[in-house]
Structure 1
Amino acid sequence: MKNIRMRNRLVLGFMAVIFTSCEVKEQADKLKALESCTYEIVSADSVYIAGTDARQLLQNGGLNIFQAPQLAFAYMQQKMPVKAKLQLKVTNNGTEEAGINKFEYKVLIQDTEILDGFIDQQITVSPSGGTALVPVRIDKDFYPLISNQTNQQAVTNFLTSQTEQKMVVTFRIKPRFVIGTQEIEYPDFIDVKKELTNTVLLSYLKAKNQP
């Protein structure tokens, strides 16, 4: 009787290991497919810079964040808080389903971290052109970024230029596998670099500014 019980336990344990291994592999395969997806910011809503609606800062087709008195005052106090709601579109042109359960993220501009957070929702992107929208909220002080003169000039050119300007934005993602009731953190961040143009970013604000 004891031998039967022991054998049953070994069988159940072996099955649990196989099930867990399959589950990990499935999530790892979806994560690998996610790395090959394309990413695009498709909307920017409720953008506030130092408490000022960004739409009020639109001048001659650009966004001037250094001439508004309230922003200049915030800069003198070494603060430049930015709040916004972004929609990130993920497109899967591969042949395998892509997905992720939960993940920590960081956003960098000019190699300076401007944002971090945690997405606590499952994201699944079907293959062959499937898409998913991921909401990203910004609530961060941008002063460390623009206090550097080189960065400040780059940001100014990007926002005020009448011609198309490009800036590389880096999304750093650290996934978490969910196995049963346990979460296993991925050992490192996955970097996804995206080229953002000022014309695209400003078009979102202009669209919101129209009646």
Structure 2
Amino acid sequence: MKLRNSLFLIFLLLNFTYCKSIRELQSFAKCEFRVATVEGTTLAGVNVQQIRKLTDLNLMQAAKITQSYAGGSLPLSLTVNVDVKNPNATPAAMNSMEWIMLIDDKEIVDGVVNDRIDIAANGGISKLPIRISTDLRKILSNMSTEEAVNMGLGLSGSGNKPTRVTLKVKPSILVGQTLIKYPGYIKVNHEFGNQQQ
């Protein structure tokens, strides 16, 4: 009898944990996502976070970027900080998240965030950093050097040409030893760069 009662309690506990985790994932999917900041933008190893246009680069920076592009690569690194706001009456959470980054509607790079995020109910906000590294030269091979560099500058929020960036995110939550993925992707849109023509 004691064994049966113990098994029943374990079943109830597992069922409660499963239901709670699924509710947290469902709440996460109903959260509001906003690109808050972009940090640490480097292009070919040059910090371009505050560079507004190509002519703002000094001679050494311009030479380094040009040499990298001519050598067949234009490495871009940045961190996109996404604010996640939970308007729901229940807490939201995820254990990991797949993401895809699109620039001007073209898939550029994808990855996974393996950090747990918990967001309090009723307006709680958490920051979700997404670290991105890619080679613009390979992705945008049919662009001129200036076009590719302008796109890289635009991603920092400082370039002179708008760059439409979309992040598609798919959160997952761990239930016991099983990772449950949200069915489909949630879109996060943001336009970087000076929008004045």
- The answer to whether TM tops 0.5 is yes
Q: 2:96 aligns with which of 90, 95, 103?
A: 103
Report SS of the residue matched to 1:58.
Answer: coil
**8 A contact 1:36–1:92 mirrored in 2:** yes
CA deviation digits over 1:37-63, x for unaligned, max 9? 111121222211110111464228999
Q: 1:94 aligns with which of 88, 108, 114?
A: 88
The match for 2:27 is 33
Report SS of the residue matched to 2:122.
Answer: coil
Let me know the Cα RMSD of the aligned residues.
3.4
Whose helix proportion is higher, 1 or 2? 1
The range that moved more, 187-196 or 128-137, is 187-196
Q: 1:185 aligns with which of 170, 179, 185?
A: 179
In structure 2, what is the Cα distance between the partners aligned to 1:75 and 1:16? 60
CA offset at residue 72 of structure 1? 2.8
Residue 118, structure 1, aligned to residue 113, structure 2: yes
**8 A contact 1:166–1:195 mirrored in 2:** no
Larger radius of gyration between Structure 1 and Structure 2: 1
The match for 1:129 is 123
CA deviation digits over 1:2-59, x for unaligned, max 9? xxxxx32232222212211111111111111111111112122221111011146422
In structure 2, what is the Cα distance between the partners aligned to 1:103 and 1:22? 21
Structure 1 unmatched ranges of 5 or more: 1-6, 202-211
Identity of counterpart residues, as a percentage?
A: 15
Change (3 A) 1:152 1:83: closer
**8 A contact 1:146–1:155 mirrored in 2:** no
Structure 2 unmatched ranges of 5 or more: none
The match for 1:20 is 14
Report SS of the residue matched to 1:91.
Answer: strand
Q: 5 Å matches for 1:191-202?
A: 191-199=185-193
CA offset at residue 117 of structure 1? 2.9
Higher relative contact order (CA 8 A, sep 6+): 2
